[in-house]
Structure 1
Amino acid sequence: MTKLSASAALADFRASGSPWLALPFFAGGAADAVAARVDERIAAGAEVLPAPQNIFAALALTPLPEVKVVILGQDPYPTPGDANGLAFSYVGARRLPASLKVILAEVEPDKATRGDLTPWARQGVLLLNSALTVEAGQAGAHLRYGWAALADEAVAAVSARATPAAFLLWGAQARARAALVDRDRHGVFESGHPSPLNRARDFPGSAPFGRANAWLAERGLAPIEWRLP
């Protein structure tokens, strides 16, 4: 079992000097309150995921000035060893999660074998979950802990920049944040959730990656290499 201190992870992230630290979530004490609540669960014996060094991975790997694309998820995979702090990213040893397989099919149909999305994050794709922590075996356990304010503020901060970015919003939760985006400056590409449980099946064939790259190219920005190594 991985022993985690959310407060220690927060302290380490603060020490990094990340531009994201200017968000009210970090500057106003909300981050400390969320970390304390997570640590209460740890003290009670809960196994919290991901590993401490990965809690703020999405923000650490993709600084605010470098964001070109925003993709929002819900919370980390609840199986130990599967999540690395990036939305939808999978580093487990079993077959790819169903939703991720559907996502990657839009990049290279029937060729997806790896699910670590770190290469996307390093190119400027902010892969941010609504909740940065979860408990083993309990998906959604921390969705109401206060993490959502961070996702709201991050979206608003990207929207407030002069540099354009593409927002890929999948499913009701992500699409609800479209209201935070200045559509005159940024691209918003919405669709249903990639989960196979989505009966509308309105994600397959939506070509989010090609559309985002075309939009970026029209504005003189380098496209993302979506194919994973």
Structure 2
Amino acid sequence: MSRRLVGSCREEPIQTGCTGIHSSGEGSLYNMFGNDWDEVLQQETQADYFNNIRYALAAEYKTQTVYPPKEDLFSALKLTPYHKVKAVIIGQDPYHGAGQAHGLSFSVRPGVRVPPSLKNIYKELQDDLGVPVPKHGSLIHWAEQGVLLLNAVLTVREGQPNSHQGLGWQTFTDAVIRELNERTEPMVYMLWGSHAQKKGAFINRDKHLVLESTHPSPLAAHRGFLGSRPFSKANDFLVSQGIKPIDWTIPEN
């Protein structure tokens, strides 16, 4: 996306009430996520680049169909507080089809057809841990246990993958990874594909476990993702650090 989009529609930044990016009142910026991420990311949400994102998104949501819906923009950070993160799974940008994206990387709401990449994630999950393949694509159960499902870019135009690559989101999500890296407790990073692996530059591999493979998309999954056993490796590491393992089994309801 062209950078000139950032300067458009300057009279009114995006408004999403208590569920997303706020437009008025300094206090609203301090309760954007509703948990400890507000304090951790305070410097980012007050930065000029973040304000530019707000204005750019205001124009985009007015003139384009943008996913996820405003109320789901920060679902990953809201569902998984900073102090509870055990693992991070980084996606590229949201699904760009109607009704798919809801703010969590690779996840879709129940009732939405499971996308191909997630089907391969489920296949690897079954092969790795022997758990049944879920009938839906919601990964909220993971998020609530401490799996941060973060896309590198948090928004996208309908039918236009990578359309918000130039909006500034990478600066924000880089900051998220840097802040996690500074936390005392070790965690697991699952970096699937080249876009996710760029975030590896901000991770101390002496403290954290970094699991890298190809992307789980049908084009790449057979070149390294399938058979990589990331879920058992993650739990083995967590247990070795005295941290409760993740229940990767997806409940049916």
**Cα distance in structure 2, aligned partners of 1:210 and 1:25:** 34
Residue equivalent to 2:7: none
**Cα distance in structure 1, aligned partners of 2:112 and 2:187:** 33
Question: Is contact 2:93–2:154 with CA below 8 Å preserved after alignment?
Answer: yes
Question: Which of the residues 169, 172, 182 maps onto 1:147?
Answer: 169
Number of residues of Structure 1 aligned to a counterpart in Structure 2: 224
Written as runs of structure 1 = structure 2, the 5 A alignment for 1:199-210 is: 201-210=223-232
Written as runs of structure 1 = structure 2, the 5 A alignment for 1:11-160 is: 11=22, 14-15=30-31, 16-21=33-38, 22-23=40-41, 24-43=43-62, 45-91=63-109, 93-109=111-127, 111-160=133-182
**TM-fit CA distance, 1:105:** 1.1
**Cα distance in structure 2, aligned partners of 1:42 and 1:151:** 21
**TM-fit CA distance, 1:144:** 1.4
Question: Which of the residues 212, 220, 224 maps onto 1:198?
Answer: 220
SS in 1 for 2:232: helix
Question: Is contact 1:58–1:126 with CA below 8 Å preserved after alignment?
Answer: yes
SS in 2 for 1:106: helix
**TM-fit CA distance, 1:159:** 0.7
Q: Structure 1 residues 56-65 or 108-117, which shifts more?
A: 108-117
**TM-fit CA distance, 1:166:** 0.5
Report the identity percentage.
Answer: 38
Q: Structure 1 residues 145-154 or 91-100, which shifts more?
A: 91-100
User: What TM-score does the superposition give when structure 2 sets the normalisation length?
Assistant: 0.83
Question: Which of the residues 162, 181, 186 maps onto 2:184?
Answer: 162
**Cα distance in structure 1, aligned partners of 2:79 and 2:152:** 17
Unaligned runs of 5+ in 1: none
Residue equivalent to 2:242: 220
**TM-fit CA distance, 1:201:** 1.8
* Structure with greater Cα Rg: 2
Residue equivalent to 2:10: none
**Cα distance in structure 1, aligned partners of 2:30 and 2:159:** 29
SS in 2 for 1:60: helix
**TM-fit CA distance, 1:27:** 2.9
**Cα distance in structure 1, aligned partners of 2:143 and 2:221:** 29
Q: Structure 1 residues 82-91 or 28-37, which shifts more?
A: 28-37
1:87-108 Cα deviation digits (max 9, x unpaired): 0001264531111100111222
**Cα distance in structure 2, aligned partners of 1:199 and 1:72:** 16
1:30-67 Cα deviation digits (max 9, x unpaired): 32211211111223x20111111110000011111111
User: What TM-score does the superposition give when structure 1 sets the normalisation length?
Assistant: 0.91
